[in-house]
Amino acid sequence: MSIGVLVVAHGSRDPRAAPVARRVAADVATQLPGVATAAAFLELSAPSPTEALDQLADSGVEDVAVVPYLLSDAYHSRVDLPAVADLARARGWTARLGQVLGPDPRLLDALGARLEEALGGAEVDAVVLAAAGSSDVSANRTVGRVATDLGARLGLPALCAFASAATPTVATAVEQFRSCGSARVAVATYLLAPGFFADQIRDAALAAGAVAVSEPLGACPEVAHIVVDRARLACPDQI
């Protein structure tokens, strides 16, 4: 039976966001010759999971690895993604659900590279890792651990911050460092794509005195490699 990989993102009204997930799905396809790959969105963007499964079916797929295009294990990964797998099972397919993308050491590599681009060789005293934020406390704690790991990787003091649903805010974290004597604070954007939260993080960080704000991770090679590995872990005998 033919196996496919379905990369499922949240979706956004911002037209800059969906092409990133589609690019990642295309990059995954190049790494998995003979495996049909598609991107889908839970809301606000097309194709929907049902439409993407139709596309995979047209390619001859009868089994699928569903990979969350999400950084944290929270509501969407625990509720919405299993529902997508159930849609595939309702077709008579075997559907296996992969893990979310974070945390993963390769994301630290990507965050570091994005920060380097933003800084252009300038040095900083501290770094804030800025995420979207969640009502799920455990998901936010995971972001905190990623911030600690990023700080250790860069040799800098680090804090996590959130654009919504959790504290501290990005402005609060930047101001905390500055009040403690860190004159040059950089903000690493822990998001997968441009959009409302990325813009909010940038605006808040710069207004609070940050000297640089990195771009979202985007369709960087590290993200595509992680998606491939998540698919292989979900379907080790087929991918």
Which residues are part of the catalytic machinery? Answer: 10
Cβ proximity of 11 and 69 under 8 Å: no
Computed on alpha carbons and rounded to an integer, the radius of gyration of the chain in Å comes to: 18
How far apart are alpha carbons 112 and 128 in whole angstroms? Answer: 12
Nearest Cα neighbor of 46 from 98, 97, 9, 90 is: 9
Q: Are 7 and 21 in contact (CB under 8 A)?
A: yes
Q: What is the rounded distance in angstroms from the CA atom of residue 217 to the CA atom of residue 222?
A: 9
DSSP run (H or E) holding 177 = helix 170-179
State the DSSP code for 222: H
Say which amino acid occupies 179: S
User: Within 13 Å, how many C-alpha atoms sit on residue 133's CB side?
Assistant: 18
Task: Provide φ and ψ at 213, rounded to 5°.
Answer: -135, 125
Structural contact between residues 110 and 188, judged by C-beta atoms closer than 8 angstroms:
no
Nearest to 226 by CA among 108, 86, 62: 108
